[in-house]
Structure 1
Amino acid sequence: MSQTPLIDVRRAADRMKTKIDWLDSKHSFSFGHHYDPDNTHHGLLLVNNDDIVSPGKGFDTHPHRDMEIVTWVLRGSLVHQDSIGHSGVIYPGLAQRMSAGTGILHSEKNDSWRLDGVTGTHATEHANPVRFVQMWVAPDEAGITPGYEQLEIDDELMRGGLVPVASGMAKDRDHAAIRIHNKYAGLSVARLQPDRTVTLPEAPYLHVFVAEGSADLEGVGPLAEGDAVRLTNSGGQRLSATTGAEVLVWEMHATIGR
């Protein structure tokens, strides 16, 4: 692998899109019938979908296999239900990981009012869409037992740094992060106030996604909401918020097929 640093900026408006009556989805990588052979993954990250789902709607029960699926809600609430008995509401500041392993069925819907007795749900139907980013990472071992994990991490995010949220890397074992089944990958999130700065880790592959707000990356310049930067053999750049931002950073030390 070449050690030449590469920086590839992907603008929000250039993402592939799926828009139907209840779903507005923007895809950073090839997804579903949107296929570009030159845009299938970066490092170990195969999917980075920016989804908005209307109230009362969502993804009906469907299967997954051999994939680590991390969901990060930005606004509203999302109900997860799966075939291994998990049911709950995901909301901003709550990290969630589902390991598909040998096979799992699940659904994701914007209908939290229908779950009686779940903390934080609404007693009556709400009219708010949910916006979330769903990310898929290849596991480093196929055929594992399916699993699920979630963790409230909002308090740590309020401190303003890069917070490990979901990771399989050894260096993050002492952090309050949910575990994913790939020892070469980890997701950190920074909820930056204006004029706050973080430094990107150094890694063979980084994926920086501005989920909300706007930011400025050293060597790149301004980044708007929905913009992404794919870095190869790089890192150490300073990332600052201009008007406040929530930024998702994948650090990866391997790539698909290697």
Structure 2
Amino acid sequence: MTAAAAGGQPLVGLSCYREPARWGVWDTAADLLPTDYADMVVRGGGLPVLLPAADRLAGALATAAAAAVNRLDALVITGGADVDPTRYGAAAGPLTDPPRTDRDAWELALIAAADAAGLPLLGVCRGMQLMAVAGGGTLHQHVPELLRGSTVHSPGGDRYGSVEIAVQAGSAVAAAVGDGVRAACHHHQAVATHPGFTAVARSADGVLEAIERPGGRFCIAVQWHPETGRDARLFQALVDAGR
């Protein structure tokens, strides 16, 4: 039984990084995620739980993902490194990150399990790209090549870009955030094709900023980083869908 079904706060799963990290006396691999994600889930009325990459499960990934999804009320596929281009039949470009095969495999298993269960699903940045790839889509591997060298979507380092985004009226994204938003972004890749999804938002320079599955299920992905600001409406909509 999920938390919402038991009358509690909806339990929202968050995929996360596995990175070398240092804290206190420790210097080791860690499963981690910026606290903004968990804070937004809480602000939206949910209870966050991290879902580390289960790479050691090997052939049992699908079973493990289904077990996790069966205990969740909603799922967020979070931001991070570039998706492995072999996942969408492409060779890696010169500026594409080294593949994180463990994370790709685990998150794709989670997406498949969420789709099978009809679980409310939100993708953020890399999460949007991976959801598109899971559906058979492809990616642009370096957005500045589309924008005459502009790096507005990823200024470099730990800085976020800021873009104006127009949202399609009548879409699920518009129901959550309205017909336009100024958003923080940090990405050098973007969705090119997205079978099974409808494109519902673009920035002024034409970069695709949101996709959603048609039908009644909450299945939305955004290229921007809604967890970084003060506007919790998208996370609240996800949590509400998980009740």
TM-score by length of 1: 0.32
Query: Which structure dedicates a bigger proportion of its chain to strand?
Result: 1
TM-score by length of 2: 0.34
Query: Which structure dedicates a bigger proportion of its chain to helix?
Result: 2
